[in-house]
Amino acid sequence: MGLVDSIFSHERQGYYGEYGGAFIPEILRTTLDELIVVFDSARRDPAFWDEFLQVMRTYSCRPTPITHLENLSNEVGGAQIYLKREDLNHTGAHKANNVMGQGLLVRRMGKKRVIAETGAGQHGVATATMAARLGLQCTIYMGAVDVERQRPNVFWMEQLGAEVVSVTDGSATLKDAINESLRDWAHSMAHTHYVLGTACGPHPFPQIVAYFQRVIGEESREQMLSALGCLPDKVFACVGGGSNATGMFLGFLDDPEVELVGVEAGGLGLATGEHAARLAGKVGSSGVAQGYKTYFFQDPEGQMQHTHSVSAGLDYIGVSPILAHLFDIGRVRMESATDKEVIDGLKRMMRAEGIIGALESTHAVVAALREATTMSADETVLVNLSGRGDKDIFTIADALEDENWKRFLKDKVGKL
């Protein structure tokens, strides 16, 4: 059995090595069992995958293209760098793949309401978009900190008809939004589906998200072979919860000659403790929280620690159990990029290529640029640009200390 087949195997019911499982209150057991049955039935039905691909082709611009970064490749003087353009997906990120797929599952289950958590806001916008298209009631939970730094996405979620609930508990970021979503679901599961946005949480969510996001890697593999006649030497993807990385890596998991590199949030630097590099920073430890077992950013007593990242989507305390397993067996290597490196890298890519990547995705770009310089010109690296950066305008402008932007904000705030 290959590694890809093992991810979708029925043998261990949601375990990947020692990680995964479903550590949930009994009240959710029946609902999760129902979801497992519906998902297993759907993925055994070839017509379901065909329907999914048709929706993504006609509604979300799939297949997304591969772009050769000729200018940056020449600038670094090493390997040739390519981007998988998930930023060109409808709603601006890879998140549309998962939510439209789960929307088809919701239709099979006959439920009328969806809830979701969101950090950077891209998953929230995608879920609200899906709900609008399928005529579903929608509630999005978002940490209060993220509500402020991702205000454009909050606006669009509300305009799409979703109720956005600002969560003030804990650190008021992604982990707290997940907790609040689980509380809601425990009381509304009869008519509500939780559209979990990343490859984490209790089984079958990691498997469901991986199943739909694998379209990224499968497309990428075919596109690189078609364009170059060979596979890339290295593939990079940013890692928060891990949905875009899992989706990209699945396309190359059974190709041992392709090195897979995940890039976590280095924040203010690994030595400061102000980061979210659970694996690259060697600070994560195995534990159980939010319904599953994985590496968490926790202290020796198992208390979750504060994380930090300039990007709202990478400051999660845990990581996909699938990626935790692949890291343990040495199939995926983990690196990190600091806030400063990411802002500098984003500016560099904008000026050289005219592409504005999301702050999350730019972590992967930074690591790829760093390593491309050590490679030869006949080697290639592929980076999953998982989202676009217009959602990050407030954070980026503040980090760049743009004086025109400061004057604009001061003027607007003064008139409120």
Contact call for residues 116 and 209 (beta carbons, < 8 A): no
Active site residue 95: yes
The whole-angstrom separation of Cα 7 and Cα 126 is 25
The whole-angstrom separation of Cα 116 and Cα 337 is 28
Which token pair is 259? 């090195």
The alpha carbon of 78 is separated from its chain's Cα centroid by a whole number of angstroms, namely 28
Helix residue ranges per DSSP H, 136-269: 144-149, 151-159, 174-188, 205-228, 243-250
How many CB atoms lie under 10 A from the CB of residue 410?
10
The alpha carbon of 51 is separated from its chain's Cα centroid by a whole number of angstroms, namely 23
The whole-angstrom separation of Cα 175 and Cα 299 is 16
Catalytic residue among 86, 117, 264, 335: 117
Catalytic residue among 60, 73, 84, 95: 95
For tokens 């400051």, the residue is: 315
- CA distances for 250 relative to 93, 160, 166, angstroms: 18, 32, 34
Catalytic residue among 171, 336, 361, 386: 386
Sign of CA dihedral 367, 373, 375, 377: positive
Contact partners, residue 130, CB within 8 Å, separation at least 6: 96, 99, 100, 102, 103, 114, 136, 195
The whole-angstrom separation of Cα 333 and Cα 294 is 16
The whole-angstrom separation of Cα 158 and Cα 302 is 36
Active site residue 386: yes
The alpha carbon of 121 is separated from its chain's Cα centroid by a whole number of angstroms, namely 11
Active site residue 335: no
Nearest alpha carbon to residue 246 among 213, 203, 291, 281: 213
How many CB atoms lie under 10 A from the CB of residue 298?
19
Contact call for residues 232 and 66 (beta carbons, < 8 A): no
For the annotated catalytic residues, the residue numbers are 95, 117, 386
